[in-house]
Structure 1
């Protein structure tokens, strides 16, 4: 392996290890808060399972969509924690 290949391989390994640690570092001190995301500003998949990516919510404050917020602030924002959101979603599906 020549020097350029070694440098490139090392750089790639460092980049991949950094990316792998981002979600946990980003989530430290945060919690999922359902029902506070604006349309197109959710952080990941919804409770309904109709999408699995960030930015795909269609309506503001959908109780099945979530955003990461500072731990302990979800209720203050009028949001729901996961257990509450799941319960509300299940009740809505029965109606």
Structure 2
């Protein structure tokens, strides 16, 4: 007899990943179900960091979190500050 297993939804997995990373919002780049559908792998980015989080699809537990800084040249604020500086110099 086959057991019925309840899985968390993709949106619940996203919320749990954000909570594990201690961030309130991010851009999700990738979301996959791994290992026969029992593990979510979520990749997301904030302005300054890129994260990969693994969420158990049944319990909702965060099983792993990896993160690294985004290159400063890609920060939106980095380019905005450079534009302001260029405008001040040319004015």
Structure with higher strand content: 2
TM-score by length of 1: 0.26
More helix by percentage: 1
Which structure has more RCO (C-alpha within 8 Å, separation ≥ 6)? 1
